[in-house]
Amino acid sequence: MKAKRDTNANILVWLTVQSLVIILASFLSFVFVIFSSRYLYGSEGPATLGYAFGTILPLCALLGALNYFLSKNTMKYVTILTDAIKRVSQGDFDVRLDEKQSVLSEVHKDFNKMCAELREVQMLRSDFINSYSHEFKTPITSINGFARLLLEQETTEEERRQYLQIIADESARLADLANSTILLSKLDCQEIVVNKTIYSLDEQLRECAILLSREWSDKSISFTGDLAEVQYNGNAEMMKQLWLNLLSNAIKFTPPQGEIVVTLRKEGNNAVVQVADTGPGMSEEVAAHIFERYYQGDKSHKKQGLGLGLSIAKRIADLCGGRITVNSTVNEGSIFTVILPFD
């Protein structure tokens, strides 16, 4: 509290000294003019000098008093602002300043906007840490548990293979989580799409389907495509990640002997890609949050996935100036639609 008073006093003293310097400089300028006039006009000089001391000095005193009052009034607003800044530095992002009753209204508006943004970042950071910790903890606990079973008890060859397979699967899941989180973090820091090239969007979709052919063929899924020829100007590697995430999501939730249909067409100045599956579908409530990070929806969606694939797909679509939506019916399937504008 004492340090705060000392700081305010120092600022007030500085403003007062500044005012006195301005007044003194003004007075000396007047004196210079007076003596110059005496040198030029002779006998009129003393009368003019007397006028200066009799009139200018009281005027300077009045200006000084007014300047002091204004400085002190300004100090009130400066003190409010410095107190608010101190609270923010201590982690209080809920502080707000009056935007209407202050001569610093524009500064207060910017300050309040900054606090709101910092509060949002704090909430996102907290949610990220909680979700990330939970997602990491699950596979680590599983790996640790089955590794101990292998070390501490006699197991049959079949049990041994089963435990090792679980450890391998959970290790892969852990690596996938780390890679997805790093990718999403990089995309969050990116504002524009760089390294654009013109390439065949339909050929890229075919390539992604081939890359995932083992996954959908192992489940005997009918995988078909209706792809128009489309040339697209974008970052090919980034877009490839979008399609792989969407197709992987469809494969995960489509049951054996199910069906996935991928379509590509032009609509006006847009390329429209749809991925339709015959999976379990989702409710409107789940669909409203499906692109949020780590969101896994109901029990049918918690069994697989990390809740990051669709978040990455949405972020890429946003960076391209496009959008991604989902239309889903429970027990019938889902249709994910990506709309990308042509440059």
- The per-residue pLDDT for 32 is 57
pLDDT category at 55 given cuts 50, 70, 90 is low
Residue 82 clears pLDDT 90, i.e. is over it: no
The winner for highest mean pLDDT among 115-124, 172-181, 192-201 is 192-201
- Domain boundaries along the sequence of the chain: 2-92, 115-188, 197-341
> Buried b / exposed e across 121-133, counting CB within 10 Å, b at 16+?
eeeeeeeeeebee
Note the pLDDT tens digit of each residue in 2-41. Answer: 444 554 455 555 556 556 656 665 665 556 555 555 555 4
Pick the CATH number of 197-341 from 3.40.109.10, 3.30.565.10, 3.40.190.10, 3.30.430.20: 3.30.565.10
Q: Quote the tokens at residue 170.
A: 């959970």
Lowest-confidence pick of 13-17, 161-165, 282-286, 319-323: 13-17
Is the pTM above the cut of 0.85? Answer: no
- The per-residue pLDDT for 175 is 76
pLDDT category at 64 given cuts 50, 70, 90 is low
pLDDT category at 45 given cuts 50, 70, 90 is very low
Could you tell me the strand order of the sheet in which 270-277 lies? 222-227, 259-267, 270-277, 333-341, 323-329
Q: Quote the tokens at residue 80.
A: 């409010």
Q: SS3 for 106-173, per residue?
A: HHHHHHHHHHHHHHHHHHHHHHHHHHHHHHHHHHHHHHHHHHHHHHHCCCCHHHHHHHHHHHHHHHHH
Residue 246 · residue 275 · CB < 8 Å: yes
Pick the CATH number of 115-188 from 2.60.40.10, 3.40.50.720, 1.10.287.130, 3.40.50.300: 1.10.287.130
Report the mean per-residue pLDDT for the chain: 77
- The per-residue pLDDT for 203 is 96
Note the pLDDT tens digit of each residue in 140-180. Answer: 888 888 888 888 777 788 888 888 888 888 887 777 777 76
| pLDDT average, residue stretch 251-259 | 94
- The per-residue pLDDT for 50 is 57
SS3 193: coil
- The per-residue pLDDT for 337 is 96
Q: Quote the tokens at residue 268.
A: 């006006």
Bridge partners, residue 272, by sequence: 265, 339
The winner for highest mean pLDDT among 13-22, 106-115, 235-244 is 235-244
Lowest-confidence pick of 161-175, 208-222, 244-258, 283-297: 283-297
Residue 282 · residue 301 · CB < 8 Å: yes
Residue 68 clears pLDDT 80, i.e. is over it: no
| pLDDT average, residue stretch 177-196 | 70
- Beta-carbon contacts of 163 under 8 Å, excluding residues fewer than 6 positions away, are 146, 147, 149, 150, 155
Task: Report d(CA 269, CA 199) in Å as an integer.
Answer: 17
Higher pLDDT: 208 or 85? It is 208
